[in-house]
């Protein structure tokens, strides 16, 4: 049997584009003699459709799309992902389904059993879990068709992969009792930089355990916060990767199942460098956020610091230099080299930039408030006014010219509340909000891999918000390598405070950082959407009550 994997980038709710893309692949695969095309999970709607699933017209559009795709499956079969109606008298009204289409008809519907409700997932909100298991018989082969979590039913933290079964039963174990010939998995599995190796181990382990060839088709592209890396796999029965379709790119490839069973091919490397994967993920996130929203231009507040430099460089690469504008907003406390570094970066990128000094605006605000401040001494209030004046300037240009403001806060700062609400936390998209400060520096080095784009002084100088004379980040925070280790252990690994450890980490520092994290939930609650590159990003994947004793 010849099977084609279609690793595609879908746009949520864009039924015409998604369907046309699928039809084109089906026609091409049929022309080259393929027997079966496998598309990712919820390929008809794009993932995640979220509360759009509650709209009747949305489900009708799904059915219309399936009708169009059916007409193309005369000489070839297809497996597509689509929500289907639960026509029983109880349970949620939809299933998350894989439709097997042959001879112009939906011959079989396989419904997802394991509905994740952790991290960014909330599938049980919409779908009824299935308890029925059956193989698909096609051209002399018995196919065990699974949907994402139905095969990924055991996981571990990070790449240590101490596996733990997340559910009380395993769909694949049920299907294995029926003696299938091939495992097929359709997925919409989001990218997480530290879990690429774990994803590989999950799928290769399943193929080896059941001694069967495995085809996994995963979505690529990005939808709002979620970025999908693709990385679709074909795995031989011995658990070796026969081939994979690359990362962060659409790809379609066909395979002879007999050759895969033989498995005589060098196993290709799966995954790329950690920072390279993050770089490609963020480019994908920015590009698709703009492209799928119908947006064209971006603006950044370029300070001469590392965070705004990295975000601006990413935006220029993702959108093109003519689509990015920078605004430099020096204050009375800004160093001369911050301005020159920002100008140098803008020149290296070839983007438009403008300089607006904020001292007069700042003085106007503070002078207006002076009668209300009762001669109280200056404190963080005046520092925050500077940040908010800058936000006013940036949003004014955004309104006037339609440039979407990109937020430049990183995960380390967001975690401990080291940012000004309605100031430097403003923006339509947080590009590096899931990237630790130490990784921001590594990403800057990667951006400079073929020559200087981000000025070396920007990378080398101590980080500072420059909101008062001589200010440094370390006046308020631990060194970033220490801070990032604490945040990672506490947020991503869910490590109790008393068990957080590492070089330079003391209980007093841990307690201080955790207090800052817990006190800053209200700020993160009002932040722009954050491009997710970790297993626990701020946003829908981490739900902490604003009013809670922690």
Residue range 176-227, pLDDT digits in tens: 999 999 999 999 999 999 888 889 999 999 999 999 999 999 999 999 999 9
Is 175 among the domain residues? yes
Q: Kindly report the number of other CB atoms within 10 A of residue 445's CB atom.
A: 11
**Same domain flag for 267 and 282:** no
Residue 89 is predicted with a pLDDT of 87
Residue range 63-104, pLDDT digits in tens: 999 999 999 999 999 999 999 999 998 999 999 999 999 999
**Same domain flag for 197 and 247:** yes
Residue 11 is predicted with a pLDDT of 97
**Same domain flag for 90 and 214:** yes
List, in order, residues 6 or more apart from 399 with CB less than 8 Å away.
none
Is 520 among the domain residues? no
Residue 540 is predicted with a pLDDT of 85
Between CA 62 and CA 84 the distance in angstroms is 8
Top pLDDT among 427 and 542 is at: 427
Between CA 342 and CA 335 the distance in angstroms is 11
Is 503 among the domain residues? no
Q: Across-strand partners of 110?
A: 98
Q: Kindly report the number of other CB atoms within 10 A of residue 103's CB atom.
A: 11
**Same domain flag for 316 and 430:** yes
Domain boundary among 423, 448, 473: 473
- Starting at the edge strand found earlier in the chain, the sheet holding 298-301 runs 352-355, 324-328, 298-301, 404-407, 429-430
Residue 488 is predicted with a pLDDT of 95
Q: How confident is the model at residue 453 (pLDDT cuts 50, 70, 90)?
A: very high
Proportion of the chain above pLDDT 90, given as a percent: 85
**Same domain flag for 251 and 131:** yes
Residue 271 is predicted with a pLDDT of 78
Residue range 8-43, pLDDT digits in tens: 999 999 999 999 999 999 999 999 999 999 999 999
Residue 159 is predicted with a pLDDT of 45
Residue 157 is predicted with a pLDDT of 47
Top pLDDT among 312 and 542 is at: 312
Report the pLDDT averaged over residues 157-167.
58
- Starting at the edge strand found earlier in the chain, the sheet holding 136-138 runs 136-138, 141-147, 182-187, 214-218, 233-235, 241-244
Residue 269 has pLDDT above 90, yes or no: no
Domain boundary among 271, 306, 336: 271
Mean pLDDT of the chain: 93
**Same domain flag for 415 and 295:** yes
Is 19 among the domain residues? yes
**Same domain flag for 335 and 389:** yes
Is 489 among the domain residues? no
Residue 315 is predicted with a pLDDT of 98
Q: Where are the alpha helices (DSSP H) in 402-490?
A: 411-416, 437-447, 456-460, 480-487
Between CA 171 and CA 110 the distance in angstroms is 11
Instruction: Give the domain range for residue 295.
Output: 278-473
Residue 541 is predicted with a pLDDT of 85
Residue 164 is predicted with a pLDDT of 63
Between CA 497 and CA 201 the distance in angstroms is 30
Helix (H, G, I), strand (E, B) or coil at 535: coil
Give the domain CATH number at 416: 3.40.50.620
Enumerate the active-site residues. 41, 112, 148
List, in order, residues 6 or more apart from 94 with CB less than 8 Å away.
53, 59, 83, 84, 85, 86, 126, 127, 128
Return the structure tokens found at 312. 């601006």
Q: Residue 477's closest CA among 433, 396, 530, 412? A: 412
- What's the 3-state SS for 136-183? EEECCEEEEEEEHHHCCCEECCHHHCCCEECCCCCHHHHHHCCCCCEE
Question: What's the structural domain count of the chain?
Answer: 2
Residue 477 has pLDDT above 60, yes or no: yes
Domain boundary among 473, 495, 524: 473
Q: Cα torsion at 544, 548, 549, 550 (round to 10°)?
A: 10
Is 419 among the domain residues? yes
Report the pLDDT averaged over residues 135-149.
97
Residue range 104-140, pLDDT digits in tens: 999 999 999 999 998 899 999 999 999 999 999 999 9
**Same domain flag for 155 and 24:** yes
Residue 549 has pLDDT above 80, yes or no: no
Is 294 among the domain residues? yes
Host H or E run for residue 473? none
Sign of CA dihedral 401, 404, 405, 406: negative
Give the domain CATH number at 44: 3.60.110.10
**Same domain flag for 256 and 284:** no
Q: Residue 240's closest CA among 206, 192, 217? A: 206
Q: Kindly report the number of other CB atoms within 10 A of residue 235's CB atom.
A: 27
Residue 334 has pLDDT above 80, yes or no: no
Q: Residue 354's closest CA among 315, 301, 401? A: 301
Residue 456 has pLDDT above 50, yes or no: yes
Top pLDDT among 397 and 469 is at: 397
143 contacts 135 by C-beta, under 8 angstroms:
yes
**Same domain flag for 364 and 243:** no
Q: How confident is the model at residue 507 (pLDDT cuts 50, 70, 90)?
A: very high
Top pLDDT among 306 and 336 is at: 306
**Same domain flag for 105 and 142:** yes
Return the structure tokens found at 347. 């020149």
Between CA 312 and CA 244 the distance in angstroms is 32
**Same domain flag for 230 and 297:** no
Residue 34 is predicted with a pLDDT of 98
Residue range 383-417, pLDDT digits in tens: 999 999 999 999 999 999 999 999 999 999 999 99
Q: How confident is the model at residue 156 (pLDDT cuts 50, 70, 90)?
A: low
Report the pLDDT averaged over residues 412-436.
96
């Amino acid at each position: 049997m010849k099977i084609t994997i279609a690793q595609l980038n879908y746009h949520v709710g864009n039924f015409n584009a998604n369907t046309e893309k699928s039809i084109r692949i089906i026609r091409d695969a049929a022309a080259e003699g393929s027997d079966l095309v496998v598309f990712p999970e919820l390929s008809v709607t794009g993932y995640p459709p979220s509360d759009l699933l509650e709209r009747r017209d949305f489900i009708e559009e799904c059915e219309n799309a399936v009708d169009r795709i059916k007409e193309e499956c005369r000489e070839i079969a297809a497996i597509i992902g689509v929500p289907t109606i639960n026509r029983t008298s109880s349970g949620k009204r939809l299933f998350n389904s894989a439709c097997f289409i042959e001879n112009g008809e939906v011959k079989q519907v396989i419904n997802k059993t394991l509905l994740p409700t952790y991290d960014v997932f909330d599938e049980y909100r919409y779908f009824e879990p299935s308890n029925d298991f059956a193989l698909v018989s096609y051209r002399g082969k018995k196919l065990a068709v699974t949907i994402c979590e139905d095969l990924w039913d055991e996981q571990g933290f990070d790449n240590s992969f101490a596996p733990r079964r997340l559910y009380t039963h395993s769909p694949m174990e049920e299907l294995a009792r029926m003696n299938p010939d091939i495992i097929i998995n359709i997925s919409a599995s989001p990218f997480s930089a530290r879990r690429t190796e774990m994803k590989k181990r999950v799928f290769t382990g399943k193929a080896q355990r059941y001694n069967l060839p495995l085809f996994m088709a995963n979505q690529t592209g990005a939808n709002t916060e979620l970025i999908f890396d693709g990385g679709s796999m074909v795995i031989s029965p011995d658990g070796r990767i026969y081939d994979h379709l690359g990362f962060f790119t659409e790809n379609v490839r066909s395979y002879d199942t007999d050759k895969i069973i033989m498995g005589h091919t060098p196993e290709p490397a799966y995954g790329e460098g950690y920072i390279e994967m993050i770089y490609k993920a963020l480019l994908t996130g920015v590009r698709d956020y703009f492209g799928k929203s119908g947006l064209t231009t971006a603006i950044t507040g370029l300070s001469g610091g590392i965070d705004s430099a990295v975000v601006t460089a990413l935006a220029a690469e993702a959108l093109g230099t003519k689509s990015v504008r920078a605004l430099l907003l020096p204050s009375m406390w800004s160093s001369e080299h911050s301005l020159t570094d920002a100008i140098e970066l803008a020149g290296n990128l070839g983007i438009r930039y403008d300089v607006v000094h904020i001292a007069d605006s700042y003085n106007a605000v503070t002078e207006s408030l002076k009668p209300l401040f009762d001669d109280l001494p200056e404190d963080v209030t005046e520092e925050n006014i500077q940040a908010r004046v800058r936000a006013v300037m940036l949003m004014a240009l955004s309104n006037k010219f339609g440039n979407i403001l990109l937020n430049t806060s990183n995960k380390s700062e967001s975690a401990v509340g080291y940012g000004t609400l309605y100031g430097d936390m403003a923006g339509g998209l947080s590009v590096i909000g899931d990237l630790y400060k130490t990784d921001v520096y590594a990403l800057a080095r990667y951006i400079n891999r073929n020559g200087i784009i981000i000025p070396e002084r920007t990378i080398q100088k101590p980080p500072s918000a420059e909101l008062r004379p001589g200010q440094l980040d370390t006046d308020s925070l631990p060194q970033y390598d220490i801070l990032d280790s604490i945040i990672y252990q506490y947020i991503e690994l869910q490590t109790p405070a008393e068990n957080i450890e590492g070089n330079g980490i003391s209980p007093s520092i841990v307690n201080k950082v955790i207090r800052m994290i817990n006190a800053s939930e209200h700020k993160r609650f009002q932040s722009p959407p954050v491009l997710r590159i970790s297993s626990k990003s701020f946003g829908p994947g981490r739900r902490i009550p604003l009013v809670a004793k922690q």
